[in-house]
Structure 1
Amino acid sequence: MIPPSQVRILEPQPNKKIITVIRQEKKSDKKKIFLLEEDVLGPGRYARPSFRLRESLEHNIKYSKVYCKAQKIIGSVRYFNCKIDNNNGLMLGPLIVDQKFKGRGIGKELVNKSISDIDKKKIDFIILIGEFDYYGQFGFERNHNIYFSLNVRKEKILLKKFSEKDITISGKIELY
């Protein structure tokens, strides 16, 4: 059963209600998300450093979310396990939303919901490769002391810390 806090009812026409839900990704969603990713990001995604870093890894389904409208997946956010020194983290990405629904706040809802569901006792940080202008609103900051095994522009590396202890997160990111 989906908790009422995760259900939103849109009323585009007076007599029709469309139910939207953000829920945890399921294994059975894999193909639908792949097709959505293909449609949204296209073949150019294979050249992006973020894709190349993740391509041989399995994402962490526990924290990955999908946005469904009338039971159709129209958005997704995935997380991958990573470490920097002894700090446990997650790498966010990709965040995708069906082109027909861009600009409606679906990406923001996915990011906010997924971040709120992360176990902050086990996870010290989230990292991503992306645009500060967008991800800054979620508390991500630039961090020039972190690096990947591939060449990534420093201004694109964004970090959100959770740890209550005063930790310094710097060094090479290890995805697993």
Structure 2
Amino acid sequence: MQIRQENPGDYKAVFALLEHAFRNEVHSDHKEQFLVEDLRKSAQFIPELSLVAELENKIVGYILLTKIKIKNTENEYTSLALAPVAVHPDYQNQGIGAELIRHAHQKAKELNFDSIILLGHQDYYPKFGYKPAKSIPLDRAPIN
């Protein structure tokens, strides 16, 4: 398997992958493919953090991290949001999603980002270092 930066020639395949991967997901509005299209056009899009997983010249996985601002009454922090991560149903449970997450974390560190937030399955993401936001002071949420 190869993980690489997405390029415009991948957009159609990624759209189809997202549509298929989230089709039967209960906790989804089934519009992730449109979210990605919108995020690619935004100022928050970072091309180096839009990644595909290829197996036998076929895109089987995708992950996107985009820039966000977290503000409270005293401070503003730049962070990243992870959404979405998807693996084609025929290739799930083979570690592809995990490799995409690890690769995205490494790329984010290389680009000097310190944290990533997400909304996701509470039993899946802790193995990658994610914790409930309420349990971490904002200035102490490093990328693992």
Looking at structure 2, the residues matched to 120 and 138 of structure 1 have their Cα atoms a distance apart, in angstroms, of 17
Q: TM-score, normalised by structure 1?
A: 0.63
Could you give the per-residue CA deviations for residues 33-85 of structure 1, whole angstroms, max 9, x where no partner exists? 0000111112874367x889777433432112111011110000111210112
Aligned residues of 1:87 and 1:124 also touching (Cα < 8 A) = no
Alignment of 1:52-63 (within 5 A): 56-58=38-40, 59-63=45-49
Looking at structure 2, the residues matched to 126 and 91 of structure 1 have their Cα atoms a distance apart, in angstroms, of 5
Structure 2: gaps spanning 5 or more residues: none
Q: Which residue of 2 aligns with 1:46?
A: 29
Aligned residues of 2:19 and 2:30 also touching (Cα < 8 A) = no
Looking at structure 1, the residues matched to 121 and 98 of structure 2 have their Cα atoms a distance apart, in angstroms, of 14
Alignment of 1:10-49 (within 5 A): 20-42=1-23, 45-46=28-29
Alignment of 1:8-157 (within 5 A): 20-42=1-23, 45-46=28-29, 56-58=38-40, 59-85=45-71, 86-119=76-109, 122-144=112-134
Please report the RMSD computed on the Cα atoms of aligned residues, expressed in angstroms. Answer: 2.9
Could you give the per-residue CA deviations for residues 108-150 of structure 1, whole angstroms, max 9, x where no partner exists? 01101110111366323101110121000010010138xxxxx
Q: How many residues align?
A: 130
Identity %: 29
Q: TM-score, normalised by structure 2?
A: 0.76
- Residue 162 (str. 1) matches residue 142 (str. 2): yes
Looking at structure 2, the residues matched to 33 and 22 of structure 1 have their Cα atoms a distance apart, in angstroms, of 14
Q: Name the CA shift for 1:130/1:64 in 2 (closer, same or farther; >3 Å).
A: same
Report the 3-state secondary structure (helix = DSSP H, G, I; strand = E; otherwise coil) of the residue aligned with 2:62: strand
Q: Name the CA shift for 1:53/1:41 in 2 (closer, same or farther; >3 Å).
A: closer
Report the 3-state secondary structure (helix = DSSP H, G, I; strand = E; otherwise coil) of the residue aligned with 2:123: helix
Q: Which amino acid aligns with 1:62?
A: E
> Which protein is richer in helix relative to its size?
2
Q: Which structure has the bigger radius of gyration?
A: 1
> Which protein is richer in strand relative to its size?
1
Q: Which residue of 2 aligns with 1:173?
A: none
Q: Which residue of 2 aligns with 1:154?
A: none
